[in-house]
Protein backbone atom coordinates (compact mmCIF):
# COMPACT_ATOMS: atom_id res chain seq x y z
CA UNK A 1 0.00 0.00 0.00
CA UNK A 2 1.24 3.44 -0.84
CA UNK A 3 1.07 6.27 1.69
CA UNK A 4 1.86 9.94 1.76
CA UNK A 5 3.15 10.81 5.24
CA UNK A 6 3.24 14.44 6.31
CA UNK A 7 4.29 16.02 9.56
CA UNK A 8 4.47 19.32 11.39
CA UNK A 9 6.58 18.94 14.53
CA UNK A 10 7.40 21.93 16.75
CA UNK A 11 10.53 20.69 18.55
CA UNK A 12 13.68 20.45 16.44
CA UNK A 13 14.94 17.30 18.16
CA UNK A 14 11.65 15.42 17.65
CA UNK A 15 11.32 16.71 14.08
CA UNK A 16 14.82 15.42 13.25
CA UNK A 17 13.99 11.99 14.71
CA UNK A 18 10.77 11.79 12.69
CA UNK A 19 12.63 12.86 9.55
CA UNK A 20 15.38 10.26 10.12
CA UNK A 21 12.85 7.46 10.59
CA UNK A 22 10.93 8.40 7.44
CA UNK A 23 14.12 8.78 5.37
CA UNK A 24 14.90 5.18 6.25
CA UNK A 25 11.67 3.85 4.75
CA UNK A 26 10.40 6.34 2.19
CA UNK A 27 11.27 8.99 -0.36
CA UNK A 28 11.27 12.64 0.69
CA UNK A 29 9.24 14.70 -1.78
CA UNK A 30 9.08 17.89 0.27
CA UNK A 31 10.58 19.13 3.53
CA UNK A 32 7.98 17.36 5.64
CA UNK A 33 6.36 15.01 3.11
CA UNK A 34 7.37 11.43 2.32
CA UNK A 35 6.07 8.79 -0.08
CA UNK A 36 6.20 5.35 1.53
CA UNK A 37 5.35 1.81 0.46
CA UNK A 38 4.04 0.08 3.60
CA UNK A 39 2.27 -3.16 4.38
CA UNK A 40 -0.11 -3.21 7.35
CA UNK A 41 2.54 -4.42 9.81
CA UNK A 42 5.04 -1.73 8.77
CA UNK A 43 2.31 0.90 8.86
CA UNK A 44 1.37 -0.05 12.42
CA UNK A 45 5.02 -0.07 13.54
CA UNK A 46 5.71 3.29 11.91
CA UNK A 47 2.58 4.89 13.38
CA UNK A 48 3.61 3.69 16.85
CA UNK A 49 7.19 4.98 16.51
CA UNK A 50 6.08 8.37 15.24
CA UNK A 51 3.29 8.79 17.78
CA UNK A 52 5.84 8.28 20.56
CA UNK A 53 7.78 11.29 19.22
CA UNK A 54 4.85 13.66 18.63
CA UNK A 55 3.20 15.95 21.14
CA UNK A 56 -0.55 15.48 20.54
CA UNK A 57 -1.27 19.07 21.63
CA UNK A 58 1.14 20.83 19.27
CA UNK A 59 2.24 18.42 16.54
CA UNK A 60 0.64 16.74 13.55
CA UNK A 61 1.54 13.56 11.67
CA UNK A 62 -0.79 12.45 8.90
CA UNK A 63 -0.96 9.31 6.79
CA UNK A 64 -2.79 9.48 3.46
CA UNK A 65 -3.36 6.19 1.68
CA UNK A 66 -2.98 6.48 -2.09
CA UNK A 67 -4.99 3.92 -4.05
CA UNK A 68 -3.68 2.54 -7.36
CA UNK A 69 -6.46 4.35 -9.25
CA UNK A 70 -5.52 7.69 -7.70
CA UNK A 71 -1.81 7.08 -8.18
CA UNK A 72 -2.25 6.98 -11.95
CA UNK A 73 -3.91 10.41 -11.78
CA UNK A 74 -1.09 11.95 -9.71
CA UNK A 75 1.56 14.11 -11.33
CA UNK A 76 4.37 16.48 -10.54
CA UNK A 77 5.28 19.68 -12.34
CA UNK A 78 9.03 19.48 -11.65
CA UNK A 79 11.44 17.15 -13.43
CA UNK A 80 12.15 14.58 -10.71
CA UNK A 81 11.62 10.87 -10.16
CA UNK A 82 8.16 9.52 -10.80
CA UNK A 83 5.84 9.41 -7.81
CA UNK A 84 6.38 6.10 -5.99
CA UNK A 85 8.97 5.07 -8.57
CA UNK A 86 10.81 1.95 -7.49
CA UNK A 87 14.48 2.58 -6.94
CA UNK A 88 17.24 0.18 -5.99
CA UNK A 89 19.05 1.03 -2.77
CA UNK A 90 22.33 -0.62 -1.87
CA UNK A 91 23.70 -0.73 1.66
CA atoms within 13 A on the CB side of 46: 25
Contacts with 42 (C-beta within 8 Å, 6 or more apart), sequence order: 25
Block mean pLDDT (10 aa), the chain, length 91: 95 96 94 95 96 95 91 74 59 60
88 is in an annotated binding site: no
Predicted local confidence at residue 19, as pLDDT: 96
**Domain boundaries along the sequence of the chain:** 2-66
Phi, psi of 70 (to 5 degrees): -70, -35
- By CB atoms closer than 10 A (0-12, 13-18, 19+), residue 32 is middle
Q: How far apart are CA 61 and CA 15, in angstroms?
A: 11
Quick one: CATH architecture of 2-66?
Answer: 2-Layer Sandwich (3.30)
Q: Is 5 exposed, middle or buried (0-12, 13-18, 19+ CB in 10 A)?
A: buried
pTM of the prediction?
0.80
Amino acid sequence: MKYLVTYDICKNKSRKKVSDILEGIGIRVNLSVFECELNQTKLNQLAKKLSDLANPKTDSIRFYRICENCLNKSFEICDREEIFESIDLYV
